Amino acid sequence: MNLTPYENSDLGSFLLAGKTWSEWRDEVELAGISARENLWISRKDLSRLQSAGGAAALVLDDEIVATVGSGEGCCGESVLAGEGSFLVKYIWDFYLLRYRF
């Protein structure tokens, strides 16, 4: 799902867990995490990824969906995503996400 066209729309200001989608994406990027555009990372997984130290990768359904540090996570620790992290596949996933937190 390409969310880029929605960045400046109402979707970008949609509140999720107390933050807008745009604010959340900015927070993830400021933490030095490179993630799939449609990835929702739970706070718990975000902390686990940041505390892994060095290069690390977040793995969801046997796929690397986010990396931190050098080497794109290839040589670092693998962090398995918990149930709070998932890929947004459909626009209504945003609606369902509001009730998870």
- pLDDT beyond 70 at 7: no
**Predicted model pTM:** 0.71
Q: How far apart are CA 95 and CA 61, in angstroms?
A: 22
Tokens 């990372």 found at: 41
Task: Write the pLDDT tens digit of every residue in 31-89.
Answer: 888 888 888 888 899 888 888 877 889 999 999 999 988 655 456 788 999 988 888 88
pLDDT value, residue 60: 94
Per DSSP, helices labelled H in the chain are 21-30, 43-51, 92-98
Please tell me which residue, 97 or 74, carries the higher pLDDT value. 97
Choose among 101, 64, 4: nearest CA to 12.
Answer: 4
Which of the 8 DSSP states describes residue 90? S
Residue 50 class from Cβ within 10 Å (0-12 exposed, 13-18 middle, 19+ buried)?
A: middle
The domain segmentation of the chain, as residue ranges, is 4-98
